[in-house]
Amino acid sequence: MDTVITVENLHKTYGKTVAVDDVSFAVERGEIFGILGSNGAGKTTIVEIMQGLRTRTSGKLEVLGVDPGRDADRLRRRIGSQLQSSALPDRLRVVEAIRLFGRLCDEPVDVAATLAAWDLDRLRNRPYGALSGGQQQRLFLALALLGNPDLVFLDELTTGLDPTARRATWDLVRQVRDRGATVVLVTHFMEEAEALCDRVAVVDGGRVAACETPRALTTRTGGLVTVTFTANAHDPRQLLAVPGVESLTVDAGQVSVAGRGPVAARVAAALAESGVMPDDYRTHYPSLEDVFLSLTGHEISEGASS
């Protein structure tokens, strides 16, 4: 895969305050790359430097073959962006917003096609201030995709949305990637990162604590895999001999087996060998919340506000 963003030893300081501290990672073409961390962790500063909106103190940076600090105007013609503080005038109508932003593109924008593609046609004459949170985010995504950018930055896209609107917005983000754009998604929602991202950079205190796929992160640092089922008169203690099993408990007939690696498959195979097929066999994998706590020593909600 092609590398579209390369960040090496990035630093950003404000006087004596270190906002970004020796950050390095790469983003590949066609992926949804997540930057996950608490508010105030440095996520927004990193993406604003990548877009040429802030200057870096030191480090190397290349986005779509361009140094954002030296040629930001050229870069902005190839990227789309939805910033954390995005807003429009309350009286600006949906169709007017698309026409206005479309004038900034190198090629003419088909307003009618854009409205249809993002299911905004029925809202075309509705003022921005009268849109729901989910409808506003749908409009921002449409604006970010005008001109078919190669790379799209989405910063805290679903903050303030209810669970239904948040999941609807996730579907829109997948559509952005399916249209051929690479996506950099900034979030402090664990569930969002797990649902959307191909890879995740965990940021804490201005540093990248880890950068891997969600599954690799949970496998490596998230703790034990747990299997639960009902004993049903079967003595489960033989499972302690299964490779990878580290502990086994039985409480009121409910068995809980914890271990590492492919322990769920091995426990299932051992049960089948003994002729035991529990109907309620469940596997519980570590979450990104577990990963974040393991890497940083605190929960993501405990970060300082930005």
Q: Would residue 103 count as lying in a domain?
A: yes
Reference 76, options 58, 86, 63; nearest CA is 63
Phi-psi region of 281 (alpha: psi -120 to 50; beta: other; left: phi over 0): beta
Model confidence pLDDT, tens digit, residues 137-148: 889 888 988 888
Residues 273 and 206 in one domain: no
Band of pLDDT at residue 239, cut at 50, 70 and 90: very high
What share of the chain has pLDDT > 70, as a percent? 96
Distance CA 297, CA 305 (A): 18
Task: Inform me whether the pLDDT recorded for 151 exceeds 80.
Answer: yes
8 A C-beta contact, residue 80 and residue 181: yes
Domain final residue, candidates 219, 247, 277: 219
197, 219, 241 - which closes a domain: 219
Q: Rounded mean pLDDT of 11-15?
A: 95
Confidence check: pLDDT of 226 > 80: yes
Q: Answer yes or no: do 270 and 171 share one domain.
A: no
Q: Which two tokens stand for residue 227?
A: 């299997």
- The total number of structural domains in the chain stands at 2
Domain match, 136 and 241 both: no
Average the pLDDT over 279-293 and give the result: 88
State whether 150 and 264 are in the same domain. Answer: no
Question: What kind and span of H or E run contains 195?
Answer: helix 190-196
33-37, 86-90, 263-267, 301-305: segment of lowest average pLDDT: 301-305
| Same domain membership, residue 201 and residue 262 | no
Q: Is the pLDDT of residue 306 over 60?
A: no
Residue 303: is its pLDDT beyond 60?
A: no
Domain limit, last residue, from 219, 254, 274:
219
Q: Are residues 214 and 79 in the same domain?
A: yes
What's the confidence (pLDDT) of residue 295? 87
Residues 234 and 195 in one domain: no
**One domain for residues 132 and 37:** yes
The pLDDT score that the predictor gives to residue 197 is: 96
**290 in any annotated domain:** no
Domain that holds residue 116: 3-219
**Rounded CA gap, 189 and 194, in Å?**
9
CATH number for 151: 3.40.50.300
- Same domain? For 117 and 89 the reply is yes
Is residue 271 domain-shared with residue 241, that is, in the same domain? yes
**26 domain-assigned:** yes
The mean of the pLDDT values for the chain is: 90
**Which CATH number does the domain housing residue 270 bear?**
3.30.70.980
Q: Is residue 231 part of a domain?
A: yes
Tell me, yes or no, whether 299 lies in a domain: no
Q: Rounded to whole angstroms, how far apart are CA atoms 248 and 240?
A: 7
Is 298 domain-assigned?
Answer: no
Which tens digit of pLDDT belongs to each residue from 171-197? 888 988 988 899 999 998 989 999 999
